[in-house]
Amino acid sequence: MSTQYEIANEGVYSENFGDESVVVNMKAGNYYSLTGMASYIWDSLSAHVSVEALENAIAKRYHAPTAKADVRHFIKELVNEKLIHPTLNHSNADSDFSLAPAAYSVPLLRVFKDLQEYVIGSVS
């Protein structure tokens, strides 16, 4: 059985700006910058690509020995930040490499907390 995630429904918003996705968690008051491979993974998870399909596709395309572990670690970070959660709605979506970065880089989640007082205050 494949593992799929979905974007947390309440208070999590994202926008893609080419090779960067900006994600806001209104409940936590944090915003995030995902560039390169991180943005690609976010977009793939948003399109309901399974973790296994994503890991295999990235490992095969980039021949990166740490790709699978990197993807799992990045997904764990997204879960810990309450940006995504497992879903029971499974689909057979495939990875779309037309939007993938040219070269592999370890996916990083850059967290910014400098607007917490403004973002959290606007949600109350």
Work out the burial of residue 42: count CB atoms within 10 Å of its CB; fewer than 13 is exposed, 13-18 middle, 19 or more buried.
buried
**Mean pLDDT, range 1-9, rounded to an integer:** 82
- CA gap 105, 83 in Å, rounded: 21
How far is residue 70's CA from residue 64's CA, in Å, rounded to a whole number? Answer: 10
Residue 109: what pLDDT? 93
Pairing of strands 5-7, 110-112: unpaired
Type of residue at 24: V
Position 121 pLDDT exceeds 60: no
Q: How confident is the model over 23-65, as pLDDT tens digits?
A: 999 988 999 999 999 999 999 998 888 898 889 889 888 998 9
DSSP for 23-47 reads EEETTTTEEEEEETHHHHHHHHHHT
Q: What is the mean pLDDT of residues 2-16?
A: 89
Q: Return the minimum-mean-pLDDT range out of 20-24, 45-49, 109-113.
A: 45-49
The pTM for the full model equals 0.84
Domain definitions of the chain by residue range:
5-123
Does residue 123 surpass a pLDDT of 60? no
Q: Is the pLDDT of residue 73 over 90?
A: yes
Q: What is the reported pLDDT for 102?
A: 79
